[in-house]
Structure 1
């Protein structure tokens, strides 16, 4: 079983917890994008989809825009065999602070529940998504919600290096994966964005 780390904008530098986990564990791989500095939803979803198709049952670990990307993949391709997801500090593409070129293509946020177990971790002081909004999004995605406290963007800048708490959450996903029953999907209905459902 593969654990796939999904970085956000600019990738994850060597000191980032995603990079450190990858260096320390043989079961972790990193998603590769053609250009980490030029996010474009269709291109990024295509790359992630291809990797998941090559690693059925993979557990995805997304940070920032990578977590948002996982949600788009889950909504667009519910048929994919995804083992679970740890979504850390997802970025809200509708925030003005997030209006880096290309990020707007990631909005609006999906609002459909996932077909796999997921945990969403959100900080009370994240500049890229208000925690109240993150809690609503977690509910829409049917992901367990974890309050990370005053933890910034849960990255190197906020003092999160190896982030052992995250590894414990990853272990929880791996346990849930073994007992998770994929829900029977209702007939396809028109998609709604997170903005229209709350």
Structure 2
């Protein structure tokens, strides 16, 4: 019942809200793409100081502190209105699963792999995320993909493959394998988060 109501609410969302969501998703994609290359240099620069796991832990720790400060400031200004907190044990458990599947484990796999693979190949593997999310969304969430979405996915993958120098030069070593499994876990995280957001307490 709650899931159906949420779905109907999203379908009736104003066009401006959807446009804003698309802009945010686009900004996230740009930042994510740049982050792969920047972190590629960063993880190698730290090779003599610490291992990739320590690097990503410290990096994410700094990001967590910054985001926590922003959330606290926002909550202080706006109060509790409009904010969501887990109300049931199951919701806390679901958040914990998302944190492990979409946070701790894939980040370790990705940065361990990034230390071994080239930034270009790492970026290409990471950008196949949209393919796995689409497959899981159709198979698990029963969502439908229209022709525009399918064409966009194909163009995206082909474009990334072209920028990476073609698939014939792609090697699947240990680093690339770790990044691939990290990408699969992130795709699972998207589905879990989507399901969680549709069943949260109102």
User: Could you say whether these structures have the same fold, taking a TM-score greater than 0.5 normalized by the shorter chain as the test?
Assistant: no
Q: Which has the higher helix share?
A: 2
Q: More relative contact order in 1 or in 2 (CA 8 Å, sep 6+)?
A: 2
Greater Cα radius of gyration, structure 1 or 2 = 2
Q: Which has the higher strand share?
A: 1
